[in-house]
Structure formats: structure tokens, C-alpha cells
Amino acid sequence: MIEEDWNAEIGDEALFPSLEKHHDVLPFFFLQLSLLEKPNNPSSVFSQSVDSFGSDEFVDTQHQSVSSFGRGRNFAAKGFQEENGEDAITQNRGFKGFGQGVCNFVVSTGFQERNAVGGAGTQSRGFKGFRGGFGQGESFQEGSGEDTITQNRGFKGFGQGVCNFVVSTGFQERNAVGGAGTQSRGFQGFRGGFGQGESPKVTYVPPPPPDDEQAIFARYQTGINFGKYDENTVEVSGLDPPAALMSFADTNMCHTLTVNIAKAGYSKPTPVQKYSIPIILAGRDLMACAQTGSGKTAAFLVPVVAQMMRDGVTASSFKEQQEPECIITAPTRELINQIFLEARKFVYGTCIRPVVIYGGTQTDYSIRQVKQGCNILCATPGRLLDIVERGKIGLHNVKYLVLDEADRMLDMGFGADMKKLVSFPDMPQKDKRQTLMFSATFPEEVQRLAGEFLKTDFLFVVVGHVGGACSDVQQNILQVSQYFKRDKLIEILHSIGNERTLVFVDTKKKADFIACFLCQENIPATSIHGDREQREREIALRDFRSGKCPVLVATSVAARGLDIESVQHVINFDLPSTIEEYVHRIGRTGRCGNTGKAVGFFDNNADGRLAQPLIKVLSDAHQEVPVWLTEVAFEAEGGRLPVNTQKNFRGRGKVNAGEVKIGCSAREIESWD
């Protein structure tokens, strides 16, 4: 695990980045902001915000802030201690870092947001707090109680130094959703960024999902192109593949499972399901590649549950150590949770108990969930290894090991963890378990690596092209240089209206910045990325799902797997650095036979090397290829047209089988989780 964000999946500590990290982050953030400025437009949103602080000094002193963070005395601790509960305690820690330096620097998107959408009362208080705070040097310690008052006091407390500048992602969330209660979360974002000393223990316990039947089987409608999935060519490589099934009834599944499939609204299997289900039922290992949104989750869940029922799996009762029959891993917390929710559908009314555990939540909570019984364990890699190492999970019973987003699970982000998982002494050898890998993309290097985990007679199912984009997504690549991206974004979002839109950017800081910027433009937006606390990530996703915030600005943490109803648009404000990532990102729309639109801002200076693989993806998906793009591709390749566009396009040395060295560029290191 070498990536900053990946670490967030593994250790709770990473949720509260150390001060040292921000020594790097702050100058970068400044750079980022300046890069986002148009050269001839000094009156940017950012400058306006700055102006509203009423302090010219901070411009000159911003670099000092870097060194001043974290050296301070325990500023304002008492005031925050007056609040009850986990938030107050952590806030206290967060503020420890402030106060002593010459310049503390605050980026508070929250205040900007309240401007945009908050109630009048809140705005007034927020701004009072802000203005009053600068340079006054009053104390946090006065008063108690209500969040808004605390904020007010809190900001009064700033100002011992010449300039205060706080990067508070939490405030952004409030921007989007408003309300006093959420305002207090702003301080969480703040403390998350600038705490000092030891990392606070993560105490977040996610709310339990609703467990009434209607909620469990909630779904969205298949789209007009659902039937067209059958037009895709399907190739099965390997010896003696079983025949594909034509309907769910073709299998000998137990009655309860058949009923659950119907309740889930699945009347006919998609191609990846038609081929994968019989392969898994036949006990074969499988690597399956099919376009985004085409039902890969059920392609492994249905046969695994069917087999478990056939094997007469018994209800697992309360035990200190559980021995699940199936382990499912996925790279992000939100995705693994989604897989768990899907699993609940298919096991409904059976004795099979699925459990989900992931980073950013209280470890004891994960352990309690596991102890209560666990047949199918859905887990992100870090939390999984942690729980196994604590002896709460025994692996000797594992019959099914599923890697969703398998190419990501095997690359330099999680590859080492997966190797560690299969190397535990009690993990059955590959010939004693079934290993199943699914993704919409499988670069050749991963295919070779996957062999280490799979039996030699595994089957490889490919629906359409390996790594092909979903043809239900209308792709449009626009030439937009970075200085004009914000204007273009606003223009597009205004034309879109209230339709649900995912905007991808390349860094966590930029995700917050753009969400904040949109709020200032009266476009309710929120953000999701690896530096946000899990609670905030889940709120952001919930608000996006519900339509409360129709725009979600995200890093690649939201690129894979997320199945959100009615996402009509994906905008790649920054194009990703690999073509695989692009395919996954645009696959958040156009799912399950529905149509969607994807726009990519292509900056010739930054994205030249993506041109060629983009052309292939566009043409494979029968999309128009702009003439300028072919010219850029030609130039980027030094006048040659490269042939293998399935590979990652960033310069990479030769990779030998077994060497984990794929898929992550500098830009993704910033944005993955």
C-alpha cells in the first residue's frame, strides 16, 4: 500500500491525515488554485472569497501558514470540549494544531456555501463569525451548546496570527445541505485536515440499512437498451466451458433464490450473467469482463448463493471467530457496501448471513457485525486483513473468493493485500477454493497477474471488447484548456438543469474547490473523495442519490462500480490518466440499458497521451471521433499511430508476470481510495 488514499481504506489513522502530510498539501493547494485561475481574470471566485475576508495580508503570508500549522498551543480546546460526544472531542484535537503560527490559512468552503444556499440566519452568523474572527484573537472558550453559536465563537477564536486560513472540506458538505446540524460537521472536515499528534480513533458507526422487504428489493427500471445487451458478442476462452443459460429458470436454483431474483426485478439474465452463472455453478474459476452497468454483481452473487444453498450451508451463530464460506472484496467502501446490499436481496429468506466491513468505520463495530454470524463477508482489503489478523475471521472454510473490480484489486494499490490474503496459512489453496474476478477492464498485465490467483483451467468470459466502454453512453470529447474548464462546466451544468451529474476531477483538493465553486454559482453540489470522513462520504452519496445535491464532484474514488439511479451525465472536468479509469468513470451513467451522456474536457497540454486510447474506445463504442483528436494523437505519438490501445498509456516499463506494477499514475495516487 503506497498510495495516500488507498491507505484510507486500510487504516483508520489515514482519515485524519497527519500534519506532515499537509505540509505537502498546502503548497500544492495554492498551486492548484492558481492553476485554476484564468490568466487574465483576477476576479475569480477564489479571489472574491479572499477579498471577503477583508485581509490583504494573507496573500503575502500564505506560505508561512505551512510552517505554522501544528506547532500551536492547544488553542480553543476548552470551548470545544464543552460540546458533547465524539465530534466535540475530535474537534478539540483538530484545533490543537492552530494558533501559534504567524499565519493560519483557512479555506472554508462552508462559509461560501452557506452564502449560496444556506438560510438567512445561518449566513449572517457564518459571516459574522468569519469577519469577527480575523485578527481579533478572541477565545473559543466562551459559551456552549448549539452548533451555529459554536462556529461563531470558533471563528472568533482565530486571529492570533496575521492571517488564518483553514481548509475545511466539511464545510462544503454543509454548503450543499445547509442547516445548523450539518454546520458542526464542518469542523470535522477542518479537524480532519489539521489535527496534531496521534490520530483519533474512528468512532463512526454507519446507520443500519433499512430492512423491510420493500427497501431491500428497491431497484430502478431497466432502460430501453436492455434488450440490446444480447447483441454483444461473447467470447469464452478456456477448456470445456459449460453452456450458457438462457433464463434464470434454466438453473436448478432453490425456490427462495428464484423468488428473490424475481423480486429484484430480474426477468432475464444479461450476457455476463448467462455465461458466468453456469461456469460458477460448475465449480470453475472465472475471470469475466463485461461493460459497465451490465449486471456483473449478480453474475457472481446469484451462483454463489445458489451453491451455498445447494451445499446446505448452515446459519452461522454468534462466535468469537467466524468462518465465512465466501469473501468478496472491492476497492472502495461505497462499492463494497453496495455489493452487500445486493447480496441481501439474493439471500433474503435464507439462513445465509452477509456482513459488510470497511475502513472509516469503527473497528469494534465491524467485529460486532462479524461475530453475530457471517457466511458472506463483503470487505475492503484493509479492514479485511485487519479483522483476519485479529483472529475474528478464520479462512479455512472459504470456498469462494470474489474480486470485484479485479484489475484494480490486483494492481499496485491492492495487489500486495490480495497476495497477503491468499497467503494466510488457513486460506485454502487455489485448487481448493473458487476464485472469481470481475471487471469492465482487464489490462493485459492484470490478466497475467490474475493467473497467480486462479486455477490453471479457469475460464475467461469477455462480453464485447475487453475494456470497451458502454455503448449506451454518448461520449463527447471537448477541447478545453484548464483555464477555461470552470466556465465550460458552468455552461454545461446550466444547460443540463437539475439532471444528476457526476463531475470527476483529478485531486481531492480540487473536488472540494469545484464543489464550493459550484455552490457559489448557485448549483447545489457536494463532493466525495478519500480525505473526507466516511460519514461525510456517505452523506454526500446519499444527497446525490436522493437528488438533494444533483451534482457530485468526485475523485476516482467514485469511478468504479457505483450504481446510482438516474445519473444522466458524467463530466470529466479532468480526464483520468488511464483509459481504464475513463471507461469506469463514464460507466456511472448509461446503466442497465438506460442511456447517458459523458463529456470530457481534453486539455492538449495534459491529456495528449490519452488521445490514442480514447480514439479506440470511442470508435469501439461507435462514437464520433473528433478530427482534432486524431491530430493530437498523431502528434502525441511522435507522428506514429500506436497499435495497442488497451494498455495504460502512461509510460511504463515492461512488466513481468507476478510483478505488481500497473494502473496507477501520479494523478491517481492523488485521487484513489
Ligand X SMILES: Nc1ncnc2c1ncn2[C@@H]1O[C@H](COP(=O)(O)OP(=O)(O)OP(=O)(O)O)[C@@H](O)[C@H]1O
Residue 508 in 3-state DSSP?
helix
Site of grid cell 459554536: 150
Does 295 bind ligand X (CB under 6 A)? Our answer is: yes
* Minimum CB distance to ligand X smaller for 571 or for 592: 592
Choose among 380, 369, 376: nearest CA to 399. 376
Among 92, 175, 276, 292, binds ligand X (CB under 6 A): 292
Q: CB 334 → ligand X: shortest distance, Å?
A: 12
Answer yes or no whether residue 468 interacts with ligand X by CB under 6 A.
no
DSSP 392-414: SB--TT--EEEEETHHHHHSTTT
Q: Which one, of 417, 405, 445, lies nearest residue 662 by Cα? A: 445
Q: How far is the CB of 580 from ligand X (least distance, A)?
A: 11
Site string for ligand X, 6-25 (x = CB under 6 A): --------------------
Integer Cα distance of 321 and 5 in angstroms = 30
- Residue 399 lies near ligand X (rule: CB under 6 A): no
Question: Which range binds ligand X by CB under 6 A, 110-118, 184-192, 289-297, 471-479?
Answer: 289-297
- Cell numbers standing for residue 296: 456483473
Sequential DSSP letters for 207-273:
PPPP-SHHHHT------TTGGGGGGS-EEEESSSPPPPPSSGGGS---HHHHHHHHHTT--S--HHH
Q: Is residue 569 exposed (0-12), middle (13-18) or buried (19+ Cβ within 10 Å)?
A: buried
C-alpha to C-alpha distances, 500 to 139, 497, 547, 628, 648, nearest whole angstrom:
43, 9, 7, 29, 30
* C-alpha to C-alpha distances, 222 to 254, 294, 489, 569, 595, nearest whole angstrom: 25, 10, 29, 17, 10
Q: Which is nearer to ligand X, 184 or 441 (CB)?
A: 441
- Exactly one of 166, 176, 287, 298 binds ligand X (CB under 6 A); which one? 298
Instruction: Kindly indicate which of the ranges 126-134, 291-299, 481-489, 543-551 contains the residues binding ligand X, using the contact rule CB under 6 A.
Output: 291-299
Largest separation between any pair of C-alpha atoms in the chain = 77
- Copy the grid coordinates of residue 212: 423491510
Number of residues forming the site for ligand X (CB under 6 A) = 21
* 464 binds ligand X, rule: CB under 6 A: no
DSSP 302-313: HHHHHHHHHTTP
For ligand X, the nearest residue by Cβ is: 295
Q: By CB under 6 A, is residue 344 in contact with ligand X? A: no
Is residue 265 near ligand X by the rule CB under 6 A?
Answer: yes
Binding-site member from 72, 94, 126, 293 for ligand X (CB under 6 A) = 293
Stretch 308-327 residues interacting with ligand X (CB under 6 A): none
Our CB check for ligand X shows the closer of 419 and 465 to be 465
| Cβ–Cβ under 8 Å, residues 275 and 461 | yes
- d(Cα 638, Cα 642) in Å, to the nearest integer? 10
CB 549 within 8 A of CB 524: yes
State yes or no: residue 266 binds ligand X (CB under 6 A). Answer: yes
Shorter beta-carbon distance to ligand X: residue 290 or 459: 290
In angstroms, give the least distance from the CB of 452 to ligand X: 23
Q: Which stretch binds ligand X (CB under 6 A): 264-272, 505-513, 528-536, 660-668?
A: 264-272
Residue selected from 7, 297, 366, 526 as contacting ligand X according to rule CB under 6 A: 297
Please report whether residue 591 would count as binding ligand X according to CB under 6 A. Answer: yes
Least Å distance, CB 297 to ligand X, is 3
Q: Which is nearer to ligand X, 316 or 594 (CB)?
A: 594
End-to-end CA distance of the chain: 11
Distances (CA, A) of 271 to 55, 303, 329, 473, 591: 61, 15, 23, 18, 14
Helices marked H in 505-610: 508-520, 534-546, 579-586, 604-607
Of 293 and 381, CB closest to ligand X: 293
3-state helix, strand, coil in the chain (%, to 5): 45, 10, 40
440 binds ligand X (CB under 6 A): yes
- Please say whether the dihedral angle defined by the alpha carbons of residues 317, 323, 327 and 332, taken in this order, is positive or negative: positive
592 contacts ligand X (rule: CB under 6 A): yes
Nearer to ligand X, 270 or 501 (CB): 270
Question: Are β-strands 400-404 and 525-528 bridged in parallel, bridged antiparallel, or unpaired?
Answer: unpaired
User: Smallest distance, Å, CB 586 to ligand X?
Assistant: 10
Strands (E), 440-573: 459-463, 473-479, 500-504, 525-528, 551-554, 567-572
Out of 219, 263, 419, 420, the residue judged to bind ligand X by CB under 6 A: 219
* Strand bridging mode 286-289 / 459-463: parallel
Closest contact distance (angstroms) between CB of 437 and ligand X is 12
The tally of CA atoms less than 13 A away on the side-chain side of residue 422 is 25
| Contacting residue, 22, 125, 153, 296, with ligand X by CB under 6 A | 296
| Backbone φ, ψ for residue 15 (5° rounding) | -70, -25
Site for ligand X in 33-92 (CB under 6 A): none
User: In terms of CB distance, is 228 or 390 closer to ligand X?
Assistant: 228
Specify the stretch interacting with ligand X by CB under 6 A; choose among 37-45, 295-303, 545-553, 627-635: 295-303
The region of 118-126, 266-274, 407-415, 530-538 touching ligand X under the rule CB under 6 A is 266-274
Q: 3-class DSSP state for residue 627? A: helix
Q: Which residue has the cell 493560519?
A: 104
What's the closest the beta carbon of residue 330 comes to ligand X, in angstroms? 9
Q: Which residue stretch of 263-271, 347-355, 387-395, 479-487 sits at the interface with ligand X (rule: CB under 6 A)?
A: 263-271
Residue 180 or 306: the one with the smaller Cβ distance to ligand X is 306
Q: Which residues pair with 541 in a beta bridge?
A: none
Please, which residues bridge with residue 236 across strands?
461
Contact segment (CB under 6 A) with ligand X among 168-176, 424-432, 471-479, 586-594 equals 586-594
Does 303 participate in binding ligand X (rule CB under 6 A)? no
Minimum CB separation from ligand X for residue 587, in Å? Answer: 5
Residues 525-584 that bind ligand X (CB under 6 A): 561, 563
Smallest distance from the beta carbon of 438 to ligand X, in angstroms?
7
Q: How many CB atoms lie within 10 A of CB 456?
A: 10
Query: Is residue 223 involved in binding ligand X (CB under 6 A)?
Result: no
CA–CA separation, 555 and 667 (whole Å): 10
> Which position among 270, 380, 507, 645 is part of the footprint of ligand X (CB under 6 A)?
270
State the binding string over 167-206 for ligand X (x if CB under 6 A, else -). ----------------------------------------
Q: What whole-number distance in Å separates Cα of residue 254 and Cα of residue 198? A: 52
492 binds ligand X, rule: CB under 6 A: no
Residues at the contact surface with ligand X, assessed by CB under 6 A: 219, 222, 265-266, 269-270, 273, 290, 292-298, 440, 561, 563, 587, 591-592
